[in-house]
Every structure is written in structure tokens, then in C-alpha cells.
Amino acid sequence: MLTLAAANVRLDVNALDYSILGVYFVVVLGIGWVAKRYVKTSLDYFLSGRALPAWITGLAFVSANLGATEILGQGANGAQYGVATFNYYWIGAVPAMVFLGLVMMPFYYGSRVRSVPEYLKLRFNTSSHVFNSLTFALATVLIAGVNLYALALVLKLLLGWPILLGIVIAAGIVLAYITLGGLSSAIYNEVLQFFVIIAALIPLTIVGLHDAGGINGLTDKVKDTKLGEAGLHVLQGTGVGNVVNPIGSTWIGLVFGLGFVLSFGYWTTNFAEVQRALSAKDLSAGQRTPLIGAFPKLVIPFVVVVPGMIALWKIKGLGGSDADLAYNNAIPLLMNQYLPNGMLGIALTGLMASFMAGVAANVSAFNTVVTTDIIEPYLQPERPDGYYVTAGRFVTVGGVLVAIFTALIASTYSNLMNYLQALFSIFNAPLFATFIIGMFWKRMTPAAGLWGLVAGTVAALVTYVGYKFASVFSFGSDLDESFWGAGAAFVVDAIVTVAVTAFTTPKPVSELRGLVWGMAIKDPDAAKVVRSWWESPALLGGTAVAIGLGLTVVFF
Amino acid sequence: MTDDDPAQPPVDRPDSSEGGRELQAANAFDLRRIIGGLFLLYGVVLTIVGATDGSAEVSKAAGVRINLWAGLGMLVLGALFVAWGLWRPLGRQLAEAERRQAQVSGATGAREEPEGPG
């Protein structure tokens, strides 16, 4: 064991580290088991009875996004693109989270829908509902597969477990706790996961920064790597015609593609995220869910992207030809480099927690959409409530099994983050265009709801296939493609929506109460509840955006 | 960490034993106590490991006694969560919320229970 090279990928875990991981699994399964006693109705199972406080749903909201691809992928991007990766957080997430909380939650929560597709059914018609339910179900199992596969890869790399064993163990644990306790169990575990992940990453960052000689030491060291000075700026070097920033995109692609379409599409219409806010106990808590999530999101890059940059300096040969030293392994390699047994067990637990968070968020959204948006309205209507809870449990099992197969699709992609971004550009970007227009334009017709979505989805698909397989289009990088694919989906969706609306009949205004801007349903009881000033959504949201902008300027 | 907190005023206990049990179960299932308990356990383990780490472990972490510091940090985090959970027990919060809800409903007359559409 003493002959291992400095950059060996296999973690030197011992019994202590495995015990730490084991305790965590026991707690996770215990939460699922206890949550089972609370599940009495389908609303309990799919939306936690709409009873959770904002701090829990807020942390679950951010944790649902802290999957394997986030930790490993953004760590890899930190090593590959440097400081420009911060754009994913301050431009690419926080404004959209604030928009969801301030502008969109009143419609989602106020109309009492149980899922994002269900909103389409009320606002437009059943055909757009069916289309979106099916594409969403497909997207979630594909994404859950990405997380499962990423998990198996890392287990193989770090612990030497065979890929299939890793997939089955992780899938089995997620399956157990979601099948038992439904969304409550998924959300409770996500909050726990949030703290475990952070507890793994903060010490890693502290040790790395200490070793590099603090912030100034690290910037000096990054300047000497292949990233150089350009790797130390978020937006500098993204001018049109003169892109020197390692991210390889112009500021237009970054701000419009990533900051607007991709990010707003992901955060405001991805049900795996919105579901957390819908399970909050009241509208105020629902609004505060993404806003409370925005604050951790502002600082998470300091413990994810920064370790990636430390790894670029510390791990010699990172990103080179050796497959073990791929950028995706930046954070695990750094953990092995610095953390002694004990902390190493916490780090391993944090990684496992992060993978399971990603799988669980998608599986719990999948079972809700399949049960409440496909089975209940169209396949088995008018059954007693208990039938749907049972159906939800079976759908969970089915979803996890399908995810094991989609994990094999994911295994054919070398960069998982880019595969994910492409999925988002196809599934989320058109949905966002339809939502934003439908919420603000009363005249938009049900037919436009369907055809806009279909056209936008096709546009993103054509951009993706034309770039990836047919080589018809060329872009600066795979990431650049996903920015522009998302932009194309948005624009095409919007044009088709307006065109179809011009020739079809809109819904009577009386049927749009609570669904469109200016017609929100006011809850008479809500005004009576006295709230503290720090619970004001506008204040929370404004502060988060201001901090994000300030940080962008500081790191410009 | 007991569910039977004697400091809790008796008014928080509903008359039926069924409700009392539910409140106790809610306290046991309080996420703050679960997080607090797990981090206290991890904190104790890491602090002990960190205090006994040899020079090999310390030099691996660039000279930082990281097990000890992380362990102490986790102890603080765990203690904060447990303190928060004990300071405002979930059972009591639920009972208060129900009382408030009842008062509000009483004031506005018959209140329609929100249901899913359809």
C-alpha cells in the first residue's frame, strides 16, 4: 500500500471510513421507514401533504440539484475552465431561482397544481399536458440514469467496486427510501445530504487553500498552469470575435443561452426542482423555497469550483491522456491527496449522498408525474386515493429499473455534464418559452401551447443532432452548442406560439383565473398571518441577485 | 433528546392520547434532531481520531489537523441543530399552527379546504 503513486485514484479507505458510510445509510433508510407512517393520502406521498417549512424545502431545492454531475462536473469545469465556471451559479442559477420564487410560484402554488405538467392542462389543454408529461417522464429517467452511471463510475474508480454492483446498491437504497416514504423521505434525506456534502467539501477546500498558500497563492499557481491568467475571470475574454476565456463562448451565449434560456428553463420548469417548492406548507413558504435555496447556491462554487482549480495545480497530469486523471475525477483525486482516514470517510459519504440526491430527486418527480399526470387522468381515473399511492410505489420501482438501463445510454458519453446540458436544452428550454408566454399573455391559445412546445423541442433536437452527429452546425464547444440549442428552442417555440395563436381561439378569460399574470387568486387568510420582515420574498430575492451581481463584478 | 420534555407546558398536549402520540412521533421525526444527532456522532468520532492522528495523517493534509478541526466543526453544527429542535419542539409548533388555523378559519367563517383541482 505504501508504494502507491501520489495521484492514485483508489481511495485508501479503511474500516473507520466504511463505518461512517454505513451509519449514514442506516439513517437514510431509517428516515424512509419513519416517513412511511406519515403517508396516509396520495397528497402525502407525492407532495408531502404540502406541509413542510421553508427552510427544509429550500435546502432540498438546492440539494436536488447537488447531484453527482454537479459536484464532479462543476469540479471538472473548475479545473478545465477556471473561474468562468462561476457563471453557472451567479448568472446561470440565482436570477432564475429568484424569478421562480417571486414571479412564478404564485401561479404554481396558487392554482394548487400537483406538478408542472398539470399547470399546462389547466392553462392550455389535455394534448399539451400529455405531450409534456411524456417528455418529462422521459427526461427524468434519462437524467436519473446519468446520476446512477456517474455513481457507478466513481465507485469503481475510488473503491474498485464493479460498475453493476455500484448501480444496483445505490439504486436499491434510493428505491427503498422513496418507495417507503415518498416525497417526505426524499426531501428529508436531501436536507441531510446537503449538510453531509458540505461537511465533505469545506475541509477539502480549507486544506487545499492552506497548501496553496491562501487565495493569493492559488491565483499565482493557477497563472502558472495551462489555464493561465484567462482562467481567473468570469466574463473577461468573452467578447464577440475575440474569445480567449477558456469557456469558449461569447458573453451573448453566456448571458442569453446559459443565463436566460437554459437556466430559467431548468430552474423554473424542471419539476424535480419545482416539486420541492410545491410541497411547502403555504404560498409564502413556497415562494421562499427557491429564494432560501439561492443563498447556498451563491457560495457552493467556493467549495466545488475552487477545489477543481486546486486540483489543476496539485494533481500533476490532470486532464491529460491518462483516463484515471480525467477532469471529472478532479475532486475525488484531491480528496485522496489530502484527506486522512476519518475525513476520507466523510468525503466518501458526501459523494454517495450527492449521487443519491440526484437520483432521488428525479425518481420522486418521475413517480409523481407518471402517477398524477398519466395514470390518474387517462389510464385509471376515478380510483380510490389509496390506489394511487400503491401505483406511485410501483412506478418508483419501474422508474429505478428503467434508470438502470438509461445509465447504460449515459455510459456512451465521455462528458456527462455536456450530455446533461444537451438534455436540458431539448426538454426544458421550449417548456420555459411556453410557460413564460402563457403566464403573461392571456390571449395565447391552447393549440399554441401544444404546437409551440412541439416545435421548440424539435428545434433543440435538430440543433443537437446537426452538431453532434451530422456535423451540419459547428460551435465553440459542446457547452456552447447547448447554449445555442436552448436559444433556438426558445425562439422557435415563441414564434410558433405567436403564429398559432393568431389563427386559433383562446380560452375564455373566466377559465384562466389563478393561471395568468394579473389574475392570481388571493388567499384571504394569508393576509392575516403576520410575518417578520426577513420573511419578505422580495427582500430575500433582491438580496440574492445583488450578491450574485456583486460577486460577478469582483471576479470579472 | 427525550420526547417527553417535562419543561413543555401541559397546554401543548391535546386531550386525546392519540394526538399526544402523534406529537411525540413528530418530535422523534423532527429533521433537526436527526441532522443534529448524526453530526454529533460524526463529530465525536472525528474529534477522537483527529486528537490521536499521527504525523503521517497531519502531513497528508498539508500540516492541518483536519480530522480534529472538522470533528469540532461537526460537533458545533450538531449541537446547534439539537438545540434548535429542543428549543422549539416540532410537536408544539404543529399544535400552535393548528390553533392559529382554527382561529383564522373561525374569523372568516366557513373556510374551503384547499383540494387538488378536478
CB pairs below 8 Å between A and B: how many?
105
Q: Give dist(CA A102, CA A100) in Å, integer.
A: 6
Contacts of A121 (CB under 8 A, 6+ apart): A128, A129, A373, A377
Tally Cβ neighbours within 10 Å of residue A526: 12
Query: Does any CB of chain A come closer than 8 Å to the CB of residue B77?
Result: yes
Residue B37 lies in a domain: yes
Q: Which residues contact A402 (CB under 8 A, 6 or more apart)?
A: A141, A145
pLDDT-above-70 percentage for chain A: 88
More confident residue, A262 or A444: A444
**H-assigned helices in A411-445:** 416-427, 429-440
pLDDT tens track for A87-137: 888 888 899 999 999 888 888 888 888 888 888 998 998 999 999 999 999
At position A95, the amino acid (one-letter code) is P
A346–chain B Cβ distance below 8 A for any pair? yes
Q: Is residue B118 assigned to a domain?
A: no
Q: Does residue B12 sit within a domain?
A: no
A28 to chain B: nearest residue by CA? Answer: B34
At A21-77, the pLDDT tens digits run 999 988 888 888 877 777 666 666 666 666 678 888 888 888 888 877 788 888 888
- Contact at CB, B53 and A524, closer than 8 angstroms: no
Each residue's pLDDT tens digit, A523-556 = 655 555 666 777 788 888 888 888 888 888 777 7
Question: Residues A169-203: pLDDT tens digits?
Answer: 878 888 887 877 777 778 888 888 889 999 999 99
Q: With contacts defined as CB-CB under 8 Å, which chain A residues touch B107?
A: 528
Residue located via cell numbers 417578520: A532
ipTM above 0.85, yes or no: no
Residue B117, chain A, CB below 8 Å: the answer is: yes
Q: Which residues pair with A280 in a beta bridge?
A: A52
| Nearest by CB: A339 against B31, B39, B66 | B66
Closest in A35, A37, A195 to B35, CB measured: A195
Q: Does A154 touch chain B (CB under 8 A)?
A: no
Chain B residues with beta carbon closer than 8 angstroms to that of A207? 61-62, 64, 66
The set of cell numbers assigned to A289 is: 423555497
CA distances from B65 to A75, A226, A314, A452, B54 (A): 24, 31, 19, 58, 10
Q: Give the architecture-level CATH label for domain A15-242+269-413.
A: Up-down Bundle (1.20)
Which residue, among B31, B76, B81, would best test binding to A if mutated, counting the most A CBs under 10 Å from its CB?
B31
Residue B112 within a domain: no
pLDDT, tens digit, 9 for 90 and up, residues B97-108: 666 666 665 544
pLDDT number for residue A470: 75
Give SS3 for A500. Answer: helix
Is residue B114 a part of any domain in this protein? no
Contact A199 B38 (CB under 8 A): no
Nearest CA in chain B to A195: B35
Domain ranges of chain A: 15-242+269-413
- Name every chain B residue with its beta carbon within 8 A of the beta carbon of A524: 108
Shortest CB distance from B60 goes to which of A210, A340, A525? Answer: A340
* Domain presence at residue B44: yes
A43, A111, A188 member nearest B31 (Cβ): A188
pLDDT in tens, A428-478: 888 989 988 998 898 999 999 999 999 999 999 898 888 877 777 777 677
CA-to-CA distance for A90 and A63, rounded, in angstroms?
A: 17
Has residue B13 been placed in a domain? no
Phi, psi of A52 (to 5 degrees): -90, 145
Expressed in percent and rounded to 5, the helix, strand and coil fractions of chain A are 75, 0, 20
Mean pLDDT score of chain A, rounded to an integer?
Answer: 82
Domain with B81, as residue range(s), is 30-101
Q: What per-residue confidence (pLDDT) applies to A530? A: 61
Residues A433 and A431: their CA atoms lie apart, in Å, by: 5
Question: Is it the case that residue B90 has pLDDT exceeding 70?
Answer: no
Comparing CB atoms, the residue among A23, A114, A192 nearest residue B116 is: A114
pLDDT exceeds cutoff 50 at A228: yes
The reported pLDDT for the residue numbered A223 is 76
B61 → closest Cβ in A43, A195, A207? A207
| Closest residue in chain B to residue A119, using alpha carbons only | B117
CB contact under 8 A, B53 and A340: yes
Instruction: Give the number of domains in chain B.
Output: 1
Cα separation of A358 and A60, whole Å? 11
pLDDT at residue number A113: 85
Reduced to 3 states (helix: H, G, I; strand: E, B; else coil), residue A270 is coil
Note which residues in 357-396 of chain A have CB less than 8 A from chain B.
377
Collect all residues of chain A within an 8 Å Cβ-Cβ radius of residue B74.
199
C-alpha angle B54/B56/B62, rounded to 5°?
Answer: 110
Rounded Cα–Cα distance for residues A97 and A58 (Å) = 11
Return residues 1-20 of B near A (CB < 8 Å).
Answer: none
A113 in contact with B, Cβ within 8 Å = yes
Nearest-CB residue to A528 (from B74, B104, B117): B104
A118-148 in b/e form (b: 16+ CB < 10 A) is bbbbbbbbebbbbbbbebbbbbbbbbbbbbb
pLDDT for res B56: 80
**What does the alpha-carbon distance between residue A218 and residue A220 come to, in Å, rounded to a whole number?**
5
Q: Which three cell numbers stand for residue A297?
A: 447556491
- Which letter does DSSP use for residue A261 in this model? I
Cell numbers standing for residue B96: 400552535
